[in-house]
Amino acid sequence: MRIAVIGAGRVGSTLGTRWSAAGHDVLYGVRTPEDPKYRGLEVETVGDAIEGADVVLLAVPWRAARDAIAELGDLGDRIVIDATNPLTPDNRDHDRHPELSGAEQIAGWLEGGRVVKAFNTTGSGNMANPGYPDGTPAMLIAGDDREAKRVVLGLAAELGFDAIDAGALAAARDLEHLATIWIRLAYGLGHGPDIAFSLLRR
């Protein structure tokens, strides 16, 4: 599968590196591919990175999301994984829309594409290594397209997560609140980033 990762920060580069190791063809789309900070990554312009991609991962800060989307053009029926959270730079949730999740706003900004919310509820360290001695971290996803969700569930499971369908794209609001709780626990209350949510079953 060819995956275009838009953004090469901690989340984008971690997921891209792991998917590449799993055998996927991964390209990173960035505004300045000539920047030496991207050395070692397969970087292209955003337009070149999405050419021929089956899946597009949006992994940029919320404040940069709309500008990044403007560079994507018509995505047709490509799967778009939204890994963003509508947070301000200090991780406060002041950028939340009163009626829509960030993912729903992104779906409205995009031209084409089938949006699935995923990879927003935990830190990049857990994406690099989701192994815990007492259980498997959950990766909750939300979206309106059943086939797109099936693909994203598979990509999450490949990384070692307990991949769980959380419902329609409207449920992304809940996932974004869960991300805020994870950030508060990890950084605001001193638990550190080596924590994860899991779903227990009987």
pLDDT in tens, 12-21: 999 999 999 9
pLDDT confidence of residue 89: 66
Estimate the share of the chain in helix, then strand, then coil, as percent rounded to the nearest 5: 35, 20, 45
28-69 pLDDT, tens digit each: 999 888 888 888 888 999 999 999 999 999 999 999 999 999
Rounded-to-integer distance, Cα 71 and Cα 65, Å:
10
What rounded mean pLDDT belongs to the chain? 94
CA 86, 135, 125, 82 torsion-angle sign? negative
Beta-carbon count within 10 A of 112 CB? 12
pLDDT at 99 (0 to 100): 82
Query: What is the C-alpha radius of gyration for the chain, rounded to an integer number of angstroms?
Result: 16
> Of 43-47, 54-58, 150-154, 168-172, which range is least confident?
43-47
Average the pLDDT over 62-79 and give the result: 95
Q: Give the model confidence (pLDDT) of 88-146 as tens digits.
A: 766 555 555 668 999 999 999 999 999 999 999 999 999 999 999 999 999 999 999 99
Class of domain 2-188: alpha beta
Contact yes or no for 161/197 (Cβ under 8 A): no
Quick one: tokens of 153? 């569930």
- The CA distance from 113 to 100, in Å, is 18
